[in-house]
Amino acid sequence: MSKPLIGISTYLEAEARWGVWSLPAALLPAGYHRLVQRSGGLAAMLPPHEPDLGRDEAREAAAHVVARLDGVVIAGGPDVRPERYGAETDPRTGPAALARDAWELALIHASLDSGTPLLGICRGMQLLNVALGGTLHQHVEGHSGPPGVFARHRVEPVPGTLLAAALPEPVSVPTYHHQSVDRIGKTLVASAYAEDGTVEALEAPDAEAFALSVQWHPEAGDDLRVMEALVAAAAR
């Protein structure tokens, strides 16, 4: 049986450096494609379109891309623009990533509309929540280490959920975020919590296919089970 093809959204940076080069680049930490590969899938990068692409055009482009995939991962990254969920910008919220917001929202809707298995990671979970009408806390403490360093904390899965089927017991996870889910979006349910009550996973139990998101960073650890669950759903 052929391995399922999993598309992963990417960063879009105005300047990246490698060798003698300093150029705009679409990039992705290697942990993502390695996690997909170690979990039995094939990885493809999905760079964003330019931010001036209209919503309808973005959704049409995303639908064409998702139609060629067996599964989609929305990767971690910068803060979601607060205007997307009707909030004023907190001074602690980072710069907007307009191209990523537009493209990844289109990918999420295309995945849900087509019944393509979907996994959101960190920012990907927050964006799934916003896509379905939810809101975010713009700053929380205690969920990251120093700049560029992952922290770890315990996560408790909710019994009977899609996440609990993959992770039936509490786990220690790598974490790096300063925003979190506030009001949960329509059709979503919380499927894991941190000890401080922060929502650590969301899923769409009524979705046509696997639709799960986690606030932590499985690509920064050795536990394959969440990605294996996506790859298994994509293989079906």
Q: Provide the b/e sequence for 85-110 (b: ≥16 CB within 10 Å).
A: bebeeeeebeebbebbbbbbbbbbbb
Q: Is 122 a catalytic residue?
A: yes
CA 225, CA 29: separation in Å to the nearest integer? 19
Q: CA separation (Å) from 230 to 83, 95, 155, 162, 235?
A: 30, 30, 19, 11, 9
Strand partners, 181: 136
Q: Provide the b/e sequence for 125-159 (b: ≥16 CB within 10 Å).
A: bbbbbbbbebbbbbebeebbeeeeeeeebebbbbe
Active site residue: 33, 104, 122, 177, which one? Answer: 122
Contacts of 137 (CB under 8 A, 6+ apart): 179, 180, 181, 182
Percent helix, percent strand, percent coil in the chain, to nearest 5: 30, 25, 45
Q: CA separation (Å) from 139 to 13, 33, 92, 165, 170?
A: 24, 29, 7, 30, 25
Catalytic residue IDs: 122, 217, 219
